[in-house]
Each structure stands twice: as C-alpha cells, then as structure tokens.
C-alpha cells in the first residue's frame, strides 16, 4: 500500500505549479494538519525544498539529489517494479538484504538500494567497490515463472537493459563483455550479479544485483581499479542524478523483462550480440586441459559463449578463463 508520505509527494508533484492548502491536503489524505506539518518537516530532512506560504499552502520547489525511498519513487513510471523500495545509507551488501526479504515473502519487484556498501560482492566472492553516493548499488527481487536453467538469461537481459540506458539516455556507446561486464573504452563501468533460490524445476526467487559507477572521478576509485574501471562521469565529464538513472533502469528493465517473459529470449540475444565486446574477434581461452585462440562467435540461448575448439569445431563454453 502506498504510504501517506508518498501520497503526499504525489499530490505535491501533481500540483507543482500551484500552492496546495494544508486543509485540502489534510482532507485528501485523511490526516490532521499537524500531521501534514510533521510530514513536511521529514521531507525537508530528506532534502526536498518545500515552500510554505501562510494563506496559500505548500508548494514543492525541488527534490534532493539524495537517494531515499521517496526520491526514487517520485515520478517513477513503472507498473510493479520498485513499488516497494528499501533504502539504506550504508549496508554490507544489498544482495544480503534482498535474500532476507525474499525469504520473508517480499513481492517480486521489491528493490533494495544503498548509498554505500561496505562489503559489496562480485561473483565468486570477489569484491565490488561501492563508494558512498557515487554509484547505483541496487538489488531487485524477481519471481519469474521460468525454468531454473534459464536464469542466466536474466543476467544477459540485465546487461542489455544497462547498455540500452547508457546508449539512449546517457548517450555513450557501451559494450557488454561476456558474461556480465559493461565496458566503456575497454574499462568496466558496471557489473551484474544474479543469484537464485530454486528447486529442480521451480524458481523461488532471483536476485539481480546491479553495480553501476556514476559520479566517480578517478580519485574516487581505489588505486587498484583506476586502470580497469570507469564511471559515467569520467566518460561524459558531468555529474548525473542517481535517481533519474535508477528510474530509467527500472522502466527499461520492466519493459524488457515483460517482453522476455511473453516472447522468449531471441530478441535479447540479438540485442546482446549487437553490444557484444569482441564478437567476431579472436579471444584466448584457457581450460584445465588446454589453451588456445579462437573467434568469439556469439552467445547461445542459455547464455553460453559460442566459439571454436582448438580443432575447429563450434563449441559452447559455460565457464572458462578468457583473455580478452
Ligand atoms: C561483478 O562481479 O561485476 C558483479 C558486481 C555486482 C555488484 C552489485 S552492487 C549491488 C549488489 N550488491 C552487491 O553486493 N553486489 C551487487 P565480477 O564479474 O566478479 O567482477 C568483480 C571484479 O570487478 C572485481 O574483482 C574488480 O576487479 C572489479 N571491480 C570491483 N569493483 C568495481 C567497480 N566499482 N567498478 C569497476 N570494476 C570493479
């Protein structure tokens, strides 16, 4: 259910051009005028700029460039994704909270975001640097009715969503490096971590974690990442509103995901290959048994990497060490 706070923000947003009186707010929301006044003070603490004029009422002037449940919800044009948002200023990892929430029956579409993660996670216990206020550190809970072995398709889907937002909204030309890195000029700008709880033929829930570097200058990155990572600001020379980018990601994700559930993976696959890093070019592959070079041909329906064996047959690789 929509909280009184977000209803209040909606009302103020819809009446942006004019003042709305305390009396009418209290009638519409069914709460006292002093309760309205308390909510207004809370919104100001969140960073909203609200003008209050004695015979006229309230008017919203500006919203904060600070994440909160309200700022992300304000103006969010999704049907179900992000209808419930849990925001933390500082947390070990949004993935951990998302797992706890999902186990406690949180609905699909629940979003966890944090300003900072102190133990952000990559794949196979690698770290994800998540410095305060600089990027989007977000996990979403999904409950798709798909076969568990199709879940890796969701990682590829998410990568195309991020690439679409970066191309269409930010206006840069990203590449997707198999399986889950978003690159700009050969440096990593975003990573995706998909985790799930499932039985043999049923998914209980999927958690998709997105880490996207947004307003980092080079000095905001740890030294070890400065040669291999980048941010939207480093590529565009300007600051971006995190809230706007999150909304773009959520809207694009919802549309793409619904389309995928209805029509399957083939469109995503095509799109992915359009963004694919080094498609058609030679890569160096290393398995436990051998090392060889072969062209990267594309991806399969279940997200495997399509290439040639050392003897020239087309093969699918699910995991291998690849030197790009
Ligand atoms: C990933 O892992 O790329 C998945 C990252 C997912 C992060 C999100 S943030 C929200 C949610 N909560 C979490 O705790 N995690 C998810 P992987 O492919 O394993 O890449 C990890 C490697 O990327 C590290 O070993 C570093 O080399 C590099 N790296 C770490 N932090 C980075 C950053 N901020 N930007 C670019 N590269 C980074």
Rounded distance between C-alpha atoms, residue 113 and residue 140, angstroms: 9
Torsional class of 35: left (φ above 0), alpha (ψ -120 to 50), beta (otherwise)? alpha
Q: What is the pLDDT of residue 74?
A: 81
Task: Give the residues surrounding ligand 1 with Cβ less than 6 Å away.
Answer: 93-95, 117, 120-123, 126-130, 137-139, 180, 188, 191-193, 209-211, 213, 225, 229
Q: Are residues 224 and 154 in the same domain?
A: yes
Output the CA 6–ligand 1 centroid distance in Å. 32
Output the CA 254–ligand 1 centroid distance in Å. 23
Q: Are residues 109 and 198 in the same domain?
A: yes
CA-based angle 240:120:286, to the nearest 5? 105
Average pLDDT over residues 93-120: 98
Domain count for the chain, please give it: 3
Residue closest via CA to ligand 1's atom 7 equals 211
Average pLDDT over residues 286-312: 92
Q: Are residues 146 and 247 in the same domain?
A: yes
Q: What is the pLDDT of residue 2?
A: 62
What pLDDT digit, counting tens, does each position of 144-183 carry?
A: 999 999 999 999 999 999 999 999 999 999 999 998 999 9
Q: Are residues 23 and 130 in the same domain?
A: no
Output the CA 191–ligand 1 centroid distance in Å. 5
Among the candidates 235, 251, 275, a domain finishes at: 275
Q: Are residues 43 and 158 in the same domain?
A: no
Q: Is 117 annotated as a binding residue?
A: yes
Q: Are residues 147 and 234 in the same domain?
A: yes
Name the residue of 122, 181, 207, 230 whose CB sits within 8 Å of the most ligand 1 atoms, as the mutation to test its pocket.
Answer: 122
Rounded distance between C-alpha atoms, residue 56 and residue 75, angstroms: 24
Q: Are residues 115 and 223 in the same domain?
A: yes
Q: Are residues 95 and 126 in the same domain?
A: yes
Q: What is the pLDDT of residue 153?
A: 94
Q: Are residues 130 and 77 in the same domain?
A: yes
Q: What is the pLDDT of residue 173?
A: 97
Kindly give the number of the ligand 1 atom that is closest to the alpha carbon of 221.
Answer: 34
Q: Are residues 13 and 106 in the same domain?
A: no
Among the candidates 47, 62, 77, a domain finishes at: 62
φ, ψ of residue 33 in degrees (nearest 5): -65, -30
* 257 upstream amide cis, omega within 30 of 0: no
What pLDDT digit, counting tens, does each position of 200-233 carry?
A: 899 999 999 999 999 999 999 999 999 999 999 9
Which domain covers residue 122, as residue numbers? 69-275
Q: Are residues 187 and 75 in the same domain?
A: yes
Name the residue of 194, 211, 212, 321 whose CB sits within 8 Å of the most ligand 1 atoms, as the mutation to test its pocket.
Answer: 211
Q: Is 122 annotated as a binding residue?
A: yes
ipTM greater than 0.90, yes or no? yes
HEC secondary structure over the chain: CCCHHHHHHHHHHHCCCCCECHHHHHHHHCCCHHHHHHHHHHHHHCCCEEEEECCCEEEEEECCCCCCHHHHHCCCCCCCCCCCEEEEEEECCHHHHHHHHHHCCCCCCCEEEEEEECCCECCCCCECCCCCCCEEEEEEEECCCCCHHHCHHHHHHHHHHHHHHHHHHHCCCCEEECCCEEEECCEEEEEEEEEEEEECCEEEEEEEEEEEECCCCHHHCCHHHCCCECCHHHHHCCCCCHHHHHHHHHHHHHHHHHHHHHHCCHHHHHHHHHHECCCCCEEEEECCCCEEEEECCEECCCCCEEEECCCCCEEEECCCEEEC
Q: What is the pLDDT of residue 287?
A: 85
Q: Is 153 annotated as a binding residue?
A: no
CATH number at residue 293: 2.30.30.100
CATH number at residue 58: 1.10.10.10
Evaluate if residue 193 carries a pLDDT over 60: yes
Q: Is 77 annotated as a binding residue?
A: no
Query: Pick the residue with more confidence: 52 or 129?
Result: 129
Compute the residue count for the chain.
Answer: 324
Q: How many CB atoms lie within 10 A of CB 101?
A: 20
Name the residue of 132, 191, 229 whose CB sits within 8 Å of the most ligand 1 atoms, as the mutation to test its pocket.
Answer: 191
Q: Are residues 174 and 126 in the same domain?
A: yes
């Amino acid at each position: 259910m929509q909280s009184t706070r977000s209803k209040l923000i909606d009302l103020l947003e819809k009446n942006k051009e004019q003042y709305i009186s305390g009396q009418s707010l209290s009638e519409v929301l069914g709460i006292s005028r002093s309760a309205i006044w308390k909510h207004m003070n809370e919104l100001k603490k969140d960073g909203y700029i609200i003008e209050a004029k004695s015979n006229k009422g309230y008017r919203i002037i500006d919203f904060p460039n600070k994440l909160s449940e309200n700022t992300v919800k304000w103006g969010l044009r999704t049907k179900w994704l992000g209808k419930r948002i849990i925001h933390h200023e500082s947390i070990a990892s949004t993935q951990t909270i998302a797992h706890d929430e999902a186990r406690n029956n949180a609905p699909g579409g629940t979003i966890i975001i944090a300003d900072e993660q102190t133990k952000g996670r990559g794949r196979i216990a690698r770290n994800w640097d998540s410095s305060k206020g600089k990027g989007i550190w977000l996990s979403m809970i999904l409950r798709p009715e798909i076969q568990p072995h199709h879940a890796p398709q969701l990682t590829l889907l998410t990568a195309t969503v991020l690439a679409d937002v970066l191309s269409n909204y930010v206006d840069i030309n990203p590449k997707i490096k198999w399986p889950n890195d978003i690159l700009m000029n050969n440096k990593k700008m975003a990573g995706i971590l998909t985790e799930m709880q499932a039985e043999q033929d049923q998914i209980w829930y999927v958690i998709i974690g997105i880490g996207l570097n947004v307003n980092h200058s080079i000095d905001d990155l740890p030294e070890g990442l400065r040669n291999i990572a980048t941010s939207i600001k480093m590529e565009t020379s300007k600051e971006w509103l995190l809230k706007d980018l999150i909304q773009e990601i959520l809207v694009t994700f919802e549309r793409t995901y619904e389309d995928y559930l209805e029509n399957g993976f083939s469109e995503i696959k095509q799109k992915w290959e359009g963004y694919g890093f080094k498609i058609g070019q030679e890569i160096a592959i290393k398995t436990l048994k051998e090392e060889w070079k072969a062209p990267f041909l594309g991806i399969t329906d279940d997200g495997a990497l399509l290439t040639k064996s050392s003897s020239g047959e087309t093969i699918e690789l699910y995991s291998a060490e690849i030197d790009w």
